[in-house]
Amino acid sequence: MAVQGMDIAVIGGGIGGLAAALSLREAGARVRVLEQAPAITEVGAGIQVSPNGLRVLEALGLGDSFAAMSVAGQAVSLRDFSGGREVLRLDLTRLPKAQSYRFVHRADLIGLLERAARAAGVGIELDARVESVAPGLQPSVTLADGQVQAVDLVLAADGLHSVLRPVLNRGTRPVFTGQVAWRALVPNGSGHPDEARVHMGPGRHLVSYPLRGGRVVNLVAVEERRAWTEEGWQHRDDPANLRAAFAGFGGDVPAMLDQVTAPGLWGLFRHPVAQAWVGQGVALLGDAAHPTLPFLAQGANMALEDAWVLAACLQKDLSLADSLALYQRTRRDRAVRVISAASRNAWKYHLRNPLVRGVAHLGLSVLGQLAPGAMLGQFDWLYRHDVTRES
């Protein structure tokens, strides 16, 4: 079908929504983003952009600007909790392209995408809360103020609590994983190098990596817990609770935690990948279709992949229905694989039995020394996947 001239509404001004809007605008569509917030901002968090996501940013013409605002990750360092001893080092400079793995503040990436979208002619409507979506030959969205907007295509990139997902998928409920996570930014007073460090302990782990030229460090700390009542990370916690949970951790962890002032805390829930991503004149992308746990650092990368593939499918010589069906077929199996891998990852960091943990860490250390390339190569299926070449 000809995407040229299509009228498209994108719900959500996050990474996936803005990337999709930019991709479709550059293909000739008329695109507007409906964002419920009064401004497109994203508080508080760092993200990791791996090669598969970076290829999309480069294909959108944003590679140089993104490189200037992000930190090139040199390694992933797995460390034992007690003294901070390195167990395994994955050398990210072995990846196919130099500086292919980067750390960035989410707000900085969203700002870059917003500026590019506006410059390309994407309309961005703020304070535009979508209450409902009606699929159909001419789908429509209804806003909180009662306004109804009829368009040719509605894309829902509105995250965990998408207004469209339950219209296409009924009766799916999230399940608490038994884990909660704190998130915080602290000054880089310890000289944290340009690497992601995973500090592994019994029933918990802490990830740290630098942002914004190395001036600050992003922290994500995960603890196993029996009960949790609320989903979302907008809850504030007393930093004393975070420090108490990780009191047995050594190395540079205590110094970083001493600087935490107002951490966010949220329960981690496992959501099934949506069975239906598309309907008549509508489609899901990003977390609205496939929320992922933060144990493989792929949430933003998957949203970027979705955005590119969806735009590519809509430019093929197919009907709208067939283009959307192709998008789901192209993306769903990969999303299932990524989310399954992320869900399996946490237990590897949380071994409680000291003997089992010692043997496992020794095995990782030996493998890392004997076959460092092979240890990184286990992620080839993830990092070497390039949707800009395959779409």
Alpha helices, DSSP H only, in 102-193?
106-120, 165-168
Token digits of residue 28: 């000739």
DSSP 8-state code for residue 94? G
Query: Which residues lie closer than 8 Å to 64 by C-beta, 6 or more apart?
Result: none
Rounded to whole angstroms, how far apart are CA atoms 300 and 73?
A: 16
131-144 CB burial, b ≥16 within 10 A, e <16: eebbbeeebbbebe
On whether the CB atoms of residues 136 and 280 are closer than 8 A, the answer is yes
On whether the CB atoms of residues 195 and 91 are closer than 8 A, the answer is no
Rounded to whole angstroms, how far apart are CA atoms 255 and 116?
A: 39
Measured in whole angstroms, the distance separating CA 334 from the mean position of its chain's CA atoms is 15
Rg (CA), the chain: 21
Tell me the CA distances in angstroms from 116 to 22, 157, 293, one per residue in order: 7, 18, 29
Task: For tokens 């994983």, name the residue.
Answer: 177
One-letter amino acid for residue 390 of the chain: E
Could you tell me whether strands 130-134 and 140-143 are parallel, antiparallel, or unpaired per DSSP bridges? antiparallel
On whether the CB atoms of residues 190 and 286 are closer than 8 A, the answer is no
Tell me the CA distances in angstroms from 232 to 45, 176, 280, 367, one per residue in order: 13, 12, 30, 37
Element (H, E) at 303: helix 299-314
In 40-168, the DSSP E strands lie at 46-49, 71-72, 75-80, 86-91, 102-105, 123-125, 130-134, 140-143, 148-150, 153-156
Rounded to whole angstroms, how far apart are CA atoms 277 and 270?
A: 18
- Backbone angle region of 97, left / alpha / beta, with phi > 0 → left and psi within -120 to 50 → alpha: beta
10 Å CB burial of residue 99 (0-12, 13-18, 19+) is middle
| 209 is a catalytic site residue | yes
On whether the CB atoms of residues 204 and 246 are closer than 8 A, the answer is yes
The catalytic position among 101, 209, 327, 349 is 209
Which residues carry out catalysis? 209
